[in-house]
Structures are given as C-alpha cells and as structure tokens.
C-alpha cells in the first residue's frame, strides 16, 4: 500500500471520532451563542453604567490610580 492509501484508511477509521468532535464543537458554539443572547438581554435590561464618581477610578475596581 502506498502512503496515501494508508492515511486514507486511518482517516476513515477515525471518522466516528471526528464526527463526535464536530458535534461537540457545534453544541459548544450553540451554548456560546445562547450566552451572548443572554448578555445582550441583560445589557438592554440594566440601566446604563455610571462613570466612577472619583475621577481616578477608570477601571471600576474602587481604587484610584493614586492608591494603586
């Protein structure tokens, strides 16, 4: 058998495993899409985010740059 024929047979033998990986990938992508929809729904529901009252707190962690 030549090399190409051997590789073809190996791939054909692994087809169920490849199908399972494709199925898992599709399901995970579906879950990601659903989570993105949930995030967008929450963003529409929640009031707009207020800017930090102390001018140095740009990242929202409660500490200004002077305290870091």
The answer to whether the pTM exceeds 0.75 is no
The more confident residue out of 5 and 55 is 5
Q: Which two tokens stand for residue 50?
A: 């207020």
Please enumerate in sequence order all residues whose Cβ is within 8 A of that of 18, keeping only pairs 6 or more positions apart, or say none: 11
Q: Is the pLDDT score of 54 beyond 60? A: no
CA distance 65 to 58: 9
Q: For residues 36 and 47, what is the distance between their CA atoms, to the nearest angstrom?
A: 18
Band of the pLDDT at 2, cuts 50, 70, 90? very high
| Span 19-48, average pLDDT | 94
The C-alpha angle 56, 62, 64, rounded to 5 degrees, equals 25
Spans of all domains in the chain: 19-43
The band of 61, judged by pLDDT with boundaries at 50, 70 and 90, is low
The Cα–Cα gap between 59 and 53 comes to 12
């Amino acid at each position: 058998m030549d090399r190409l024929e051997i590789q073809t047979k190996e791939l054909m033998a692994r087809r169920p495993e490849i199908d399972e990986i494709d199925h898992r990938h599709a399901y995970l992508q579906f879950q990601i899409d659903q989570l993105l929809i949930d995030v967008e729904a929450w963003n529409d529901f929640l009031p707009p985010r207020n800017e930090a009252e102390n001018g140095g707190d740009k990242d929202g962690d409660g500490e200004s740059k002077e305290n870091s």
